[in-house]
Amino acid sequence: MALTTNHPVLGPRALNRATLARQLLLSPAPLGVAEAVGHLLGLQAQNTKPPYYALAARLEGFRPEQLSALLESREVARIVTMRSTVHTHTARDAIALRGLVQPGAIDRELAMFVSRGGLDGVDLDRLAVLARALVDERPRTPKELREELLQEWPDADPQSLSVAARCLLPLVQVTPRGLWGRGGQVALTTTDTWFQDGAGAEAAAGIDETVLRYLGAFGPASVKDMQTWCGLTRLGEAFERLRPRLLVFRSESGTELFDLPDAPRPDEDTPAPPRFLPEFDNLLLSHADRTRVVPAEHRSRTWSGNQAHRVFLLDGFLAGLWFLDETKERTTMTIEPFETPGRAARAALTAEAERTLRIMAPRDVPYEIVFRAPED
């Protein structure tokens, strides 16, 4: 949204510290795991381990077993939501946010597969009915779902059939998928079957409520920032309705930034300790303008092809990558900064790496921390 009045300017460092505060990354937060997952509106979970590392970076006293226990008790679950990617959500958000974002990236993904011709002759309404009956009878793997649906539409593209089912229905990845130290292949059932009456939500989340929650977790932010986060478009009307309840700033480029009046906006010189984040962390994916965390010169360094790397923050900004080599004998964390850190920064990185490994590495396996020289 373009600048229309002389709102106060927030530079990248001010935005950085505000966002880190909302993301629980300035200091470990004394929150319960379910409360943190709800505050953050879910955790990216395209892979199984990132939600655990995301919480380890953010919570005081976190143990991986805590998130596993919530998955097993069905208080949280893995489901496709924002940007048509898998997230770990509270039960309420798994239902409500899935309903909210359905008309965005999820419907667009389905339309893309339809346009490619893999679903020619397929009645999508009937596919939804058949798929629901199958996964409600018992959880089915995508392979099992494809094989059953191919009996009805033998000429259809198999992958397109399973993707269509995932897009048409709110499908949860059931445990043991996603459990710490156990895991399992993807198996799917509907939110109705998995949560039954315990989720406390029956319909899509309200857009105004979600705007306020987004600002609480990712603000200050623009309309385009939120659209990037959730995969929806045309959210300007919601922000306009809420404008009287919000503070309005602008970025250095003149973009309007909205925020909750009572949300934290620390001084831009507030210390920001190093943090080790997993691949696909929402901190790096939830704004159209990512310079509040990702310096322009490093914006292409977090990916190799389609693979996202684990990253670390130094003084609040993306400053390098980290890698894990886990064997039965030893866990090795390799830290690869983009620039050679000074003595104090190296010591701070080492201390945070040790904190992370004390939480995440198997207790009976020694660990070591190795620094790799920056690439030219």
Percent of the chain with pLDDT over 70: 96
Helix (H) / strand (E) containing 311: strand 310-314
Exposed, middle or buried: residue 348 (CB in 10 Å: 0-12, 13-18, 19+)?
middle
Predicted pLDDT at 339: 94
Q: How far is CA 172 from CA 76, 136, 187, in A?
A: 10, 11, 8
Q: What is the pLDDT of residues 253-283, one digit of tens each?
A: 999 999 999 999 999 999 999 999 999 999 9
CA distance 126 to 231: 26
CA distance 69 to 32: 12
Q: What mean pLDDT is reported for the chain?
A: 93
Phi-psi region of 324 (alpha: psi -120 to 50; beta: other; left: phi over 0): beta
CA distance 133 to 129: 6
Structure tokens at 178: 């996603």
Exposed, middle or buried: residue 89 (CB in 10 Å: 0-12, 13-18, 19+)?
buried
In this prediction, residue 90 has a pLDDT band, given cuts at 50, 70 and 90, of very high
